[in-house]
Structure 1
């Protein structure tokens, strides 16, 4: 599987029509680059179109965080940019995973979501962030309720968003769902820590992790793809510019073979209770104060 991960700038005002349009244009430029480099799927960060700022959206004024007024969002412009992205995905025959706000029926707050757009330009599924930050859940978004997986060319992907990198149980959940690669889109408030945690999750679960973050973090933690052994396979540029990194997700590669072929099956076997038949009853085992 030829796979691409992208990084794009953060724009935080959903009232700004020009900024929304520019974000859409940048996404489509990177889609074309990913396609030209042979990618079958491309993955974008949490802020790819817009990351609405809590103070911009607050009904209590820019000086105080309060409930978000989602009527301030330029919904028609946002939807037209997403439609153009879907149209290009169809033209390029490129699966595209793109973050955006997903509007619900009022007065319900929207979801913070990842749309999975197929190479036919159709939304085949959507992941809604479940474990939100305190500000997000109190003032801005409705949380999601379930994991989401999708398959492309025999490779199974799982989706995570925002601060969910801090919850190892979500990564373990996807291991149980037989994913080959987790797509993590975030704004990366602490990018170095986020990148380190993502490497740990990849190694512990023996699958690929694609970490997609904004360009603002590229100097310390650019977007990239982590192999099942926890090593970086490829990363985007570190100069603050929009870019894509393209890799082959190949479980026969040196970076993946040991983890996928041996480590992951053994962990599953051990968790299934293989140790019970080898446990013994012995006085020196039961006595925790036994001498050497």
Structure 2
């Protein structure tokens, strides 16, 4: 199965971000991909208000992504924001949601592990998801994860227990000393933990296009990677925008689980 990772840099404008999704989806389809992965916050970049643009999965932004996927005959996975809870005092939150849509596919995943780290508190404005999500496309089962989720092995092994041969991670990774190295290390570690292929797609680094940082907002570092179940980096982008193609051979997952049956051998305490 041929897939693509679309390492884009989104901004505030919803229509502009949708145009990016359509452009890269068309390029992915033109390159023979059956599935294309976009980053977290494809709908609107962090560092901008989210409450005013959060919409349900049948709202206009998601509906347009769905229409693009249907028109092209490709599965699209992209990060958006859906409405969350409202407190008794009227304070509203959003959910950090991945939409997966295309031929025979309609699924969504709400980010479970919220980024309350490095002095940032995602939980102040975002409701956590509660349930892992997998879906099937092209005879392959995929598990979904978002950004900070990559630091938590149990989600990846749970997806594998639910049949996932491939784990997709969509991110808008925060920059800082050692953060690119951590991103790649964690992608490799989660592949080995779960003996799955990992498709880790991040927002491109705005600095690569001379875009100034928006305070402490995690706006991306690039370096999207494809990792084998043995932890080998099969391909990688640099910091700038780009489209990375990969051929997924799930036979390597079967091989890894035969040679290194960590899922079968583990003990739960």
TM-score (norm 2): 0.81
Query: Following TM superposition, by how much is the alpha carbon of 1:42 offset from its aligned partner in structure 2, in angstroms?
Result: 0.8
Corresponding residue of 1:284 = none
Contact 1:149/1:157 (<8 A) preserved: yes
Corresponding residue of 1:279 = none
1:147 paired to 2:148: no
1:246 paired to 2:240: no
Contact 2:222/2:239 (<8 A) preserved: no
Q: Which has the larger radius of gyration?
A: 1
Match of 2:172 among 158, 179, 187: 187
Choose between structure 1 and 2: higher helix proportion. Answer: 1
1:127 paired to 2:127: no
TM-score (norm 1): 0.75
Count residues with an aligned counterpart.
243
CA distance in 1, matches of 2:236, 2:122: 29
Choose between structure 1 and 2: higher strand proportion. Answer: 2
Corresponding residue of 1:234 = 235
1:45-84 correspondence runs (5 A) = 45-53=39-47, 56-57=48-49, 70=51, 72-73=52-53, 79-84=59-64
**Unaligned residue ranges in structure 1 (runs of 5+):** 14-18, 58-67, 274-292
CA RMSD of aligned residues (A): 2.7
Contact 2:97/2:110 (<8 A) preserved: yes
Query: Following TM superposition, by how much is the alpha carbon of 1:250 offset from its aligned partner in structure 2, in angstroms?
Result: 0.6
Corresponding residue of 1:7 = 7
CA distance in 2, matches of 1:20, 1:88: 15
**Unaligned residue ranges in structure 2 (runs of 5+):** 209-220
Contact 1:192/1:221 (<8 A) preserved: no
DSSP 3-state at the match of 1:183: strand
1:30 paired to 2:19: no
Shift in alpha-carbon separation, 1:239–1:163, aligned structure 2, 3 A: closer
